[in-house]
Structure 1
Amino acid sequence: MNGPIRRVSLGIYLLFLVLLGSVTWIQVLSADTYRDHPRNVRTNLNQTFKERGLIVTSDGVVLARSVADEEDSRRFTRTYPEGEVFANLTGYASLFGESTGAEAAFDGELRSRQDATFSDMIAALLGRDLRPHSVQLTVDANVQRVAYESLGSQHGAVVVLQPDTGNIIAAASTPSYDPNSLIGVENETVYDELLADPDNPLLDRATRENFPPGSTFKPIVAAAAIDAGVAEPDTTFPDPQEFDLPGTDATIGNFGDGVCADGDSITLRQAMIVSCNTVFADLAIQTGAETIGLVAEPMGFNDSFSIPWQTAESNFPIEALEEDDAALGQSGIGERNVRATPLQMAVVAATIANDGEMVAPGVLRQLTDADGETITERQVPAPERTMSPETADILTDMMEQVITAGSGQQAAIPGIRVAGKTGTATGVEDRPSVWFIAFAPVEDPTHAIAVLVEEGGEVGEGATGGNVAAPIAARVLEEALAGN
C-alpha cells in the first residue's frame, strides 16, 4: 500500500473513531442530560405519567402523590390533595412550563429511575434502589392553612420560621392556583390562562418577589446605629413634622403628616414604638450606608437564599447610597430602592429573636426511601452574627413596646409576649403595601413571622401595617404557638 492510500485509510479510521466517540458520548455518557432537558417533549410526556414519590408536611399531611391507573399499573397520575393552599411550595410536575417548587427542587429524588437508561441500568447492577424517594417538608399543615385563609382574597404572603433552625413552618402566597388543573395533556389552555391572568397566581409572593419593606426595615437601621455607637435607645432626636432631605427640595413626613411626639424632641426608643419616619431618615444618614450594610447583608440582603430552590434577591444598594444622603434617608424608612421578599423579612425578625444570629432558611426536613427509611435530613446551617446580643435585646424590648403601646397593638395575643414592627410602604395609586414582622414568645422565641398585603388589601387607601397585616400575624402566630 502506497503512502497516499495509507494516509487516506488512517484519516477514515480517525473519523470513524471520532464518530464512535460522539455517538458514545451522546447516547451513553450524556443520555441523562438529554433525557432530562426541559425541551425534550417526549421525555416530559413519559415522565409526566411515571410514578413519583410523596411530598408531605412535617406533620404527615400528603401534599403530592402519584395514583396508579386502574387499567395500566405502569401509568400514574400526579395529584395534589391540598390544592391551592400549598401550591407555591409543592409546585407542579406538568407538561406545561418548567416544574416549580419542591417538585422541581427534588425532581431527581422524587422521580422513578426505572427508565432503562444507561445510568439506571448501571445503578440497578450496583444494587441501588430505583424506586422514587419521598420528601418531607418542614412546613406545618395547620399553620400553612391558617396563613392562607387569613390572607383571604387579598394579594400577599405570610412566612413563618423557627428562629434557631431556619425551618420554614409556613409560606403562604395569594392568589394561588390548583396544581391539579395543570395535570394532563388536555389542560394546556389552563396553563395559558394562568400565565395571562393579571393577578399572577403562578407567582410565589412569599419567596420569588420582592417589595419595598417600609418601616419593617427600621430595626435594621436601629441595630446598625446602636452597634456602631451612633445612637442609644434614649438618644434624643429633633421631632419635626417633616425631615428635609440633604441637597434636595424633597422632604420625608410622618404617618398622618404630624409630629411623632411633642414637636420638640423624641428618643430612639419612642421613635421605634410609633414608627417615626423623620427620626429614621435622619438616623440612616448619620449611620451611613456601609454601616447599615454590615447588618443588612449578613441577614441576606443583596443575595438570595437557596431553600433549596432559589429565592428572589432582596436589595439594599450600599454603593449607590454611599454618596447620596437624600436617597439614604429614604432608604432608612424602607423605601427608595430597598426591596425585600416576605421570606427575607421573616429572617430579619427571626435573627433578632435569635440574639442577633441569622440561620439561613430551608424547607426540607428529610428525604426518605420507598420503604420510609431516612436517607438524609436537613442540617441546620451555622448561624451568622449580624449584631451583638445586647443590641438584639434592645431591639426586642423596643419591638415588644410596639405591641403593648405602639403601632402594632392589633398583633397582641392574650397571655403571650409578642415583639413586632409595622410597615406601610409605597404601593399603587395611594394603596400602600402593608407589612408586619414579629416573633414570640419574647422570653424564649420559637416562631418568627412576616406578613405582606399588597395595595392595602381589602382596606385600600386607609390600610396600615397595624390595621391590616398585624391582625393576620396574630392569628397565624397563635396557631403556630398552640401547635408548638
Structure 2
Amino acid sequence: MNTTLRRLSTVVMAMFVALMVSTTWIQFVTAGSLNEDPRNFRNIYSELGRDRGPIVVGGEPIVTSEPVDDDYKYQRTYSGGDAGAASVYAPLTGFFAVTGTYTGLERYANGYLGGEDDSLWLDRLQNLITGEEAQGSSVELTIDPKVQKAAWDALGDYTGAAVALDPKTGAILAMVSKPSYDPNTIAVHSNDEATTAYNKLLNQNPQVNSVDGSERFSPYGPTVNRGINATYPPGSTFKLLTAAAAVEYEGMSPDTQIPAPDVYQLPGTTGDGGSVQNFGGETCSATGEMTLKDALRISCNTAFLGLANEVGKDGMQQMFEDFGFTESIDIPMSTSIGAYPGLSDTAKDDSDARIALSGMGQGDLRLTPLQVAMMSAAIANDGDLMEPYLIKSVRDSDVELVSQTKPSRYKSPFSSSTADALTEMMIAVVNDGSGQGAQIPGVEVAGKTGTAEDDPRSPTLWFTSFAPANDPQVAVAVVLENEGQSTNESTGGALASPIAAQIMQAAISK
C-alpha cells in the first residue's frame, strides 16, 4: 500500500471514529437532556401523539386523552372540557401543554401517564416487538370525590386551601386550592394560545385584604397549589405543637397550672415593643394562672408564649424537626418546607424572644396547610404520623395492576400518651372553647383555631381538626388567606371552623 492510500485510509477511519463517537454521544450521553429541552418539539409531538393515560378519581377519569385529527393526534382533556369541574382538580392534575410545560400530576406522574416508567418495561418491550403504539397507564388518586366537592363548595369565594387526610394511612382525601383555573385553556394545540393563557394566569394573583385598607395582592397565583406550596403563619394552630412539646418534654398534663398573664414581656426585651397582649386585650384568667387545657381551649396567647419559653429553643426546634416540617415530601408533587427560627434561611433569628413568639404561631414561623393537617393527623393516630400520598394505584393499558401505594409511617413526633392529652384538650376547644363552629351533631370533634397576624395584610385564618375523636377517620386543615379582621366575628373559629365541619362530615358519612 502506497503512502497516499495509507493516508486516505487513516482519514476515512478517523471520520468513521468521529461519526461513531458523535452518534454515541448524542444517542446515549446527551439523550436525556435533549429530550427534556423545551425547544425539542419532536419530543412534544411524540408525547402528545401517544394515548396518554387517564387520571382517575373515585373510579371515574378526570383527565383523558381524546383522539383528534391534527398533527398531535390526541387532545388532553380535563373533566370532559367542563371549566368548572376541571377547576376543582386543577391544582392537583396540573396541565400538559404543547409548549413543553407540564405541572402537577401531569409532571410528577409523567412516567406512568406517558407509559415510560421503568416499571412498564414489559409493556414497552411488547410494543417494540409488535410495533403497536405505546399507551400510558392510568393513575388512580386517593381523593374522595365527595370530600373534594364538600371542601370546594365550603371554601366558596375565599382565597385559601383545604386539605383532608386519612390519619391512619396518610391518604389524601381532599386537596382544594382557591382561586383555581381551567387547565383546558392551556392544553390547546396552539403554542401561541397556550403561552398566552399561561402567562395570563401567572399575572392573576388575587387581591387580598390589608390592615390599613391599602391595595395588597397574594404572593401566590392560581397555578400554585396552596395546599402544599404556599406557606403561611400558622397562628394558634401551632399551639398544638407547643403543647405537644410541653407534655412530651416537660412532663405536663392537661391539668397542669401554667402562668397566663394579661401581658407577656418577650425575653430579652424591654418596653412596649416587646410586650404581647391576648387577642383583643382580653384577660385569660383573673388569677393569672390556668390549666394547660383551658389555655388551649380559649387559645390564651400569653400562656403559650411563656410555655414556649419554658420548653426552650432546643425543645421547640426538636419538635418542629420531629414532625418533618424541615423536609419536603413527594406526594408525588414536591411539597414546600416550613420555616422556624434557627431552622431555615427565612427564619434565622432563634433568639429567646423569637422562640417564645413561636409558641403562639407568630414571628418567622411558616407552614403549609398540609403540614397543619399533619399535626392533627399525628394526634389522631396516637403519635404516629403517616406519610401523605396522593396516588392510590397505577394500572397499565390492559388494566393490570402496576403498583399500589402501601401506607408507611413518616414520623413519630410524640408518644401515644401525649396524643391522648392533646386529644382531650382539642375536644374541649370544640365543645366549649374557640372552635365551637366545628361541632357536628352526634360526632365528637377535636380541633384548634388559629388567627395569624400577617401585616400589612389582614390576619390569615385557620382551623385544624379530626373526627370522630374516639375513632378518627379524617384530619383536616383549612386556611383562609388574609380573610380576617381584628374582631371576634372574623377569626379562625368563626369563619374557618364551619368549613372544616362540612369537610369532616362529608368524610365520615361516606
TM-score by length of 2: 0.87
- Indicate if the aligned counterparts of 1:428 and 1:455 stay in contact, CA closer than 8 A: no
C-alpha spacing 1:39/1:217, structure 2 compared with 1 (3 Å): farther
- Indicate if the aligned counterparts of 1:230 and 1:287 stay in contact, CA closer than 8 A: no
Corresponding residue for residue 225 of structure 1: 246
Listed as ranges, the gaps of 5+ residues in structure 1 are 114-118
Corresponding residue for residue 456 of structure 1: 483
C-alpha spacing 1:4/1:465, structure 2 compared with 1 (3 Å): farther
Corresponding residue for residue 241 of structure 1: 262
How far does the alpha carbon of each residue in 1:171-222 deviate from its partner, in whole angstroms, 9 at most, with x for none? 0000000011112113432212111112211111011111111111111111
Residue 194 (1) aligns with residue 201 (2): yes
Corresponding residue for residue 23 of structure 2: 23
Counterparts of 1:275 and 1:336 in 2: how far apart (Å)? 17
- One-letter code of the match for 1:352? I
- One-letter code of the match for 1:265? E
Corresponding residue for residue 116 of structure 1: none
Identity percentage over the alignment? Answer: 39
Structure 1 residue 7: Cα displacement: 9.5
How far does the alpha carbon of each residue in 1:224-266 deviate from its partner, in whole angstroms, 9 at most, with x for none? 1111125332222232211000111311211111211224211
Listed as ranges, the gaps of 5+ residues in structure 2 are 80-84, 117-121, 207-220
- One-letter code of the match for 1:253? Q
C-alpha spacing 1:63/1:182, structure 2 compared with 1 (3 Å): same
C-alpha spacing 1:340/1:323, structure 2 compared with 1 (3 Å): closer
Corresponding residue for residue 82 of structure 2: none
How far does the alpha carbon of each residue in 1:42-79 deviate from its partner, in whole angstroms, 9 at most, with x for none? 4225423532111011x21321001112x469711111
Counterparts of 2:265 and 2:470 in 1: how far apart (Å)? 39
Q: How does 1:86-125 map to 2 (within 5 A)?
A: 86-96=89-99, 98-111=101-114, 124-125=127-128
Report SS of the residue matched to 1:455. Answer: coil
TM-score by length of 1: 0.91
Counterparts of 1:402 and 1:207 in 2: how far apart (Å)? 26
Corresponding residue for residue 268 of structure 1: 292
Structure 1 residue 122: Cα displacement: 5.9
Aligned CA-pair RMSD: 2.8
Counterparts of 1:432 and 1:314 in 2: how far apart (Å)? 19
Structure 1 residue 8: Cα displacement: 10
Q: How does 1:54-203 map to 2 (within 5 A)?
A: 54-57=54-57, 59-69=58-68, 71=69, 75-81=73-79, 82-96=85-99, 98-111=101-114, 124-125=127-128, 130-184=134-188, 185=190, 186-199=193-206, 200-203=221-224
How far does the alpha carbon of each residue in 1:431-457 deviate from its partner, in whole angstroms, 9 at most, with x for none? 210100000101110110000001116
Structure 1 residue 384: Cα displacement: 2.5
Number of residue-to-residue matches in the alignment? 476
Counterparts of 1:43 and 1:458 in 2: how far apart (Å)? 51
Residue 394 (1) aligns with residue 390 (2): no
- One-letter code of the match for 1:262? A
C-alpha spacing 1:39/1:252, structure 2 compared with 1 (3 Å): farther
Q: Once structures 1 and 2 are overlaid, which stretch shifts more, 94-103 or 150-159?
A: 94-103
Residue 37 (1) aligns with residue 64 (2): no
- One-letter code of the match for 1:242? V
Report SS of the residue matched to 1:171. Answer: strand
Corresponding residue for residue 210 of structure 1: 231
- Indicate if the aligned counterparts of 1:456 and 1:462 stay in contact, CA closer than 8 A: no
C-alpha spacing 1:21/1:252, structure 2 compared with 1 (3 Å): same
C-alpha spacing 1:321/1:274, structure 2 compared with 1 (3 Å): farther
- Indicate if the aligned counterparts of 1:427 and 1:454 stay in contact, CA closer than 8 A: no
C-alpha spacing 1:8/1:357, structure 2 compared with 1 (3 Å): farther
Structure 1 residue 123: Cα displacement: 6.3
Q: How does 1:306-385 map to 2 (within 5 A)?
A: 306-318=330-342, 324-385=351-412
Corresponding residue for residue 426 of structure 1: 453
